[in-house]
Structure 1
């Protein structure tokens, strides 16, 4: 077997696969896939993976299994997060994947997820000696991490991901203003532990970890006429005015308007709305002026640990 390592990240919306090879100290990515599975579709707040989503997930894991064999991967880690850890039939999904593909999945809690995210963002070079708030918005959960490049001060996972919020608040399109108000009240309550910790650690900036923040970057840069390769980019510093304009537009846009915007991938066409509201609420609440993005997230954090 070749000296190849893989990470499989089974998220609520996407299943991700990275296969990498260490060659003379350098890390060479052989495969980098982000596949829309929508495992939480139809059941995210019911605590159950629906049949169609279950089958989509199984098919993707069979595809990933084939790639692990093709690339002769000697070491891998498959991690399940919010949708699987909270679903009543999550253990059955994990069992079926092992039976049908041989892949062993580890279901991790939100604290471990936040720790891996910190490792990924740190490896991107986005952190400095100043205190940052890392915000990772998944479909099922949101991870918040207060840290700098050398120390993780506080971390928490909140089960208020974009898919969960959309299921509760975004049933009409465009989202009605009264629903935005309701959502903001909900966030005020749910994120109280974060705001209390921010009073202590006083973050200098907010760094969005991949996901929705990838889309924000692509929207802003496409508007300028630029092509962006996020894998090459690693980090990005937002212009605060451009950022506010993009998120404001998303909060008032229709599904048709979003789907016609090429810089928004189909998977995020709808969930980007609640992700925008959540991001805007935190920025306003904390009064942070500097907003950045790390293209690296949990899967890169796991990969860096495996490689080491």
Structure 2
């Protein structure tokens, strides 16, 4: 029997590093799964060259408009009837973020909702739950964006604690890694760790209280670490909902990242060139979190904010 569908929806996540587009056909039959028509992403690097100064740089601004124009063309090609677009840290905190939102609407007709960090964390948790069975024990969910990092402690039914910190990978790169052509020195690692110990006090208190049994890393840097474990870069369409990332694999990748220069990192199997430097500061952050929580099990979730938006749409 042919399944009937009521509408097609496009979900767009305008992240600080990457813009994501997910187009699905929503079923009318209760309990049926949506059909994925397109899942793609573009490395826009919206925070590059400006986020630490509170502005979206001209080149990044242009890349954003170009990418959204392409996304709009995809929605028309797939006969999308509804678009939901959300923007996070880079547009949320920069002085010209509202201007970019206006220009996106004027040039594409796409209305972008700029969401606060708490809402971002909630949507990430909802998305991760579609990929990883959290069960009844609390897990620490972590999403490392370019502008902000979201931490959520949750099980499959309840969010116990959540907080967004404006310490994303682009910000950490700007602050602690001024020379990306070379090796990340031990002094820079120590400086980043000291900084994290100061700003992540609320996280350390929450993990001490709730005692999460595992770490679930959402997309981005965690996908790259899973690709390094596999030894090859997986295309977006090939990513499984989740991957078990062995602690030994993370530790080996961490050592490689710290001991390599930029060209050597780019050559490592599984690394996107745009992530070659950001992944270093992100790995320092992950190592710090593992150290203060004593967590030994890591899972990576290919689902995050846009899948959270989809899960909410399916409830309507």
TM-score (norm 1): 0.95
Q: How does 1:130-145 map to 2 (within 5 A)?
A: 130-145=137-152
1:96 to 1:230, Cα distance in 2 relative to 1, 3 A: closer
Q: CA deviation at 1:227?
A: 6.8
Give 1:150's match in structure 2, choosing from 157, 171, 189: 157
The 5-angstrom pairing of residues 73-222 of structure 1 reads 73-172=80-179, 173-222=182-231
Q: Which of the numbers 287, 294, 298 marks the counterpart of 1:287?
A: 294
Q: Provide the residue aligned with 1:300 in structure 2.
A: 307
2-structure distance, mates of 1:126, 1:166: 33
Structure 2: give runs of 5+ residues left out of the alignment: none
Q: For residue 26 of structure 1, give the secondary structure of its aligned residue in structure 2.
A: coil
- 1:262 Cα offset (Å): 3.6
The superposition leaves residues 5-41 of structure 1 with CA deviations (integer Å, 9 ceiling, x where unpaired) of 1111001111110001134522211111110111111
Match of residue 256 from structure 1: 263
What TM-score comes out, normalization by structure 2 length? 0.93
Root-mean-square deviation (CA), in Å?
Answer: 1.7
Q: 2:280 aligns with which of 256, 269, 273?
A: 273
Describe the SS at the equivalent of 1:3: strand
1:11 aligns with 2:20: no
Evaluate the alpha carbon distance shift between residue 53 and residue 114 of structure 1 in structure 2; reply closer, same or farther with a 3 A threshold. same
What is the alpha-carbon distance in structure 2 between the residues aligned to residue 237 and residue 37 of structure 1?
28
Superposition misfits of 4+ residues, deviation over 4 angstroms: 226-232
The unaligned stretches of length 5 or more in structure 1 are: none
How many pairs were matched up? 306
State whether residues 39 and 237 of structure 2, in contact with CA within 8 Å, keep that contact through their aligned partners in structure 1: no
